Structure 1
Amino acid sequence: MSEVLALDCVVIGGGVVGLAVARELAMAGRDVVVLEAEPLTGSITSSRNSEVIHAGLYYPTGSLKAELCVAGSRKLYDYCRDRHIPHTRCGKLVVASNEAEVAYLEKLLKQAQANGVDDCGLVDGSELVRLEPDIIGFAALVSPSTGIIDSHRLMEAYIADIEAHGGSIVLNSPVLGGEFLADAVRLSVGGRDPVEIEAKLVVNSAGLNAWAVSESIAGLDRNAIPERHYARGCYFSLTGRAPAERLIYPVPEPGGLGVHLTLDLAGQARFGPDVEWVETIDYDVDPSRADKFYGAIRRYWPNLPDGALQPAYSGMRPKIVGPNGGGAGDFIVQGPETTGHPAYAALYGIESPGLTASMAIAERVARLTSR
């Protein structure tokens, strides 16, 4: 029988949320090892998003998304300032294309205020044009505290904190399966140097693979594992100058926030994501999807030139609710009381605003797993 490596705490998944969780646990005094299946940290969902710091407007009051996004946004801006992580509080406009959509903006403003976001306001079409001359709409909701961030620099800072507190990151280390023991979790880890691990605490933060990891662990009640759905979102980049200095969002669609204009820190514009419900993980971007993008974008930027969009990349949203359920759904953060084992915690459905909420999610996991 091969030797079993005894560890204190294992975090499965080296995306932005897994790294934030590992950082929080390491800073609380746990001996933490992050197991990342890929050759690089943050190379899947964490590198295939809009890099937006969300304010917390959209999510139902009392939901984890609302609570952790609002708290996480404030923590993230402070952390970026303290650690000199590139970011900017550029602001966002949610644009109503017609009078009927203004009622949604009014509802959204009340939702934001109920969630503790107190800096939003409504402007009419003439004020919208004054703010962003190329953007057309009947009215808009202004969110000054929405921003953008260099997500890779953020993850580098999380890793630096983990390592400064004695933790480590192990790459190319997929979890192949495991079993519940009396007060520990045993994991079989593959890769170049396969190993058996027994950990006093395992946090499953494997993102798109969180379901597969939990399903592979003997002794876990399958009723604790929620539904799994995938929604692919494609992005297209803009050739030429960005039409706005702020992020521009339409009224949301089921399953997403609509095809919106986002900016990178160099001012380059891209549009997306759209929503395509799929059965398997696939990152191909069909160039023909641009046809729908042109129509969606011209609702708020009518002067988008023909041929200006180029396929960029796509991302996958790990969702707990499918299209028949409206495509929304909350974060699921399970501590030992919910997973049914004192050494196991699991996160499911960590889509947007997961990056924004990462530090607040980490604090919640630490509370749920404190000894």
Structure 2
Amino acid sequence: MDEVECIVIGGGVIGLACGASIARSGREVLVLEAEDAIGTHTSSRNSEVVHAGIYYPKGSLKALLCRRGRDMLYRYAEERSIPHRRIGKLIVATSPEQLAQLAQIADRAAGNGVEDLRHLSPRDVSAMEPALRSSGALLSPSTGIIDSHALMLALEAELQEHGGMVVLRTEVTAIEPQSSGFIVETRGAEAGRIRARHIINCAGLRAIGLAQQIAQLNEDTVPQAHFSVGHYYRLSGPSPCERLVYPVPEPGGLGIHLTLDLANQAKFGPDVRWIAEPDYRFDDSARDRFAAAIQTYLPGITADDLVPDYTGVRPKIVGPNEPDGDFRIDGANHHGVPGLINLFGIESPGLTASLAIADHVAQIID
């Protein structure tokens, strides 16, 4: 039977970041990925935004790790020549009644250590982005965009530089705790049994289901899995804006916002639709509703300007009409199984927070 010190389950951005951080500390690490490529699910089906850390409750893991991870990610992108841009973001009030919400957002951001927001008048907004209609806005100059695939390739390369390895097409089917570690059963390209001292469950959409299969893990320590699918449309013509544009947040997400990729292609999304199981099929039936939401801040956009692009599924630990959930990074002090770390509900801002999450996990191991 093969043996390894640490097994990371999941080859998305979180798993790769954890693997690289663990390998950097001198530990032996193996990243197991069920698909035939890295980052094919949540990590590559998002807005690729580097968040500033504005929206999250003070003291939450999302607030702490997003703020810390943002700075780490920008430094890492510079050091590794990962394409990115600090493009800036406008959070717009689409009516005078929403100005109070902007003030609340600014207060929350300041509580999280984000102190570079600027209040803008409607005239200021028009001067920056003439196509926008607003009653005022907040400018976040620290918000940016990044090539998420290039980031994952850089993390995989760093993992390998420090002696780690990513094994594709290898699905974990069972985890059996032992007195001094775990027996991990796999199927696929590398089918068999592996002994490991530490297991880091970064399986994303499958993380909760995987944890539920661990016999000695108390079911009360594993949250219920929920999933929401978000649809993204790309704009058929040139972008009307030079910056990212977000409405004030809505329950379950940040609203249907405008983002840009590194080629300046504009896209809109995501919406929030609750689903029973992950499903990436694109449902175009809500295009008119999408357009109506966009027209509250970009009145020149019509439904005919929107082209179906892709969907992304978020691994949530709260359901509809419930307050937003925080990241869950559960070690033995939470569930009582030495050597096991479960990561649950790592949705937005998981990409931004990925390097900080990885350091947090490495500290738990140490």
TM-score over 0.5 (shorter chain)? yes
Deviation of the 1:192 alpha carbon: 3.2
The aligned counterpart of 1:246 is 243
Q: What amino acid is the match of 2:118? A: G
Q: What RMSD over aligned residues (CA atoms) do the two structures have, in Å?
A: 0.8
TM-score by length of structure 1 reads 0.97
2:319 pairs with 1:322: yes
1:204 to 185, 193, 201: 201
**Contact persistence 2:32–2:168 (CA under 8 A):** yes
**Contact persistence 1:339–1:345 (CA under 8 A):** no
The farther-off stretch of 179-188 and 9-18 is 179-188
Secondary structure of 1:280 counterpart = coil
Structure 1 pair 158–289 and aligned structure 2 pair: CA distance change class (3 A): same
Number of residues of Structure 1 aligned to a counterpart in Structure 2: 366
Q: What amino acid is the match of 2:149? A: H
Deviation of the 1:10 alpha carbon: 0.3
The aligned counterpart of 2:295 is 298
Q: What amino acid is the match of 1:116? A: G
**Contact persistence 1:120–1:142 (CA under 8 A):** yes
The aligned counterpart of 2:82 is 85
Instruction: State the distance in 2 between where 1:137 and 1:350 align.
Output: 32
The aligned counterpart of 1:182 is 179
**Contact persistence 2:295–2:302 (CA under 8 A):** no
2:147 pairs with 1:146: no
Equivalences for residues 89-238 of structure 1 within 5 A? 89-238=86-235
1:341 to 322, 337, 342: 337
Q: What amino acid is the match of 1:341? A: V
Deviation of the 1:335 alpha carbon: 1.5
Deviation of the 1:79 alpha carbon: 0.7
Instruction: State the distance in 2 between where 1:341 and 1:306 align.
Output: 52
Instruction: State the distance in 2 between where 1:183 and 1:191 align.
Output: 26
The aligned counterpart of 2:32 is 35
Q: What amino acid is the match of 2:226? A: H
Secondary structure of 1:338 counterpart = helix
**Contact persistence 2:16–2:31 (CA under 8 A):** yes
2:271 pairs with 1:274: yes
Residues 17-58 of structure 1 show CA distances to partners (whole Å, capped at 9, x for unaligned) of 110000000000110000000000001110100000000000
Q: What amino acid is the match of 2:341? A: A
Secondary structure of 1:358 counterpart = helix
The aligned counterpart of 2:360 is 364
2:52 pairs with 1:76: no
Instruction: State the distance in 1 between where 2:295 and 2:264 align.
Output: 20
2:62 pairs with 1:65: yes
The aligned counterpart of 2:347 is 351
Deviation of the 1:227 alpha carbon: 2.0
Deviation of the 1:306 alpha carbon: 4.2
TM-score by length of structure 2 reads 0.99
Structure 1 pair 164–139 and aligned structure 2 pair: CA distance change class (3 A): same
Instruction: State the distance in 2 between where 1:172 and 1:305 align.
Output: 42
**Contact persistence 1:180–1:220 (CA under 8 A):** no
**Contact persistence 2:227–2:274 (CA under 8 A):** yes
Identity of paired residues, percent?
A: 48
Deviation of the 1:12 alpha carbon: 0.2
Residues 180-227 of structure 1 show CA distances to partners (whole Å, capped at 9, x for unaligned) of 111201111010341101100010000000011111122111111112
**Contact persistence 1:9–1:200 (CA under 8 A):** yes
Q: What amino acid is the match of 2:340? A: Y
2:5 pairs with 1:8: yes
**Contact persistence 2:168–2:189 (CA under 8 A):** no
Instruction: State the distance in 2 between where 1:179 and 1:24 align.
Output: 25
Instruction: State the distance in 1 between where 2:321 and 2:295 align.
Output: 28
Instruction: State the distance in 2 between where 1:305 and 1:317 align.
Output: 27
Query: Which structure 2 residue ranges, 5 or more long, are not aligned?
Result: none
Deviation of the 1:340 alpha carbon: 1.2
2:280 pairs with 1:283: yes
Q: What amino acid is the match of 1:345? A: I
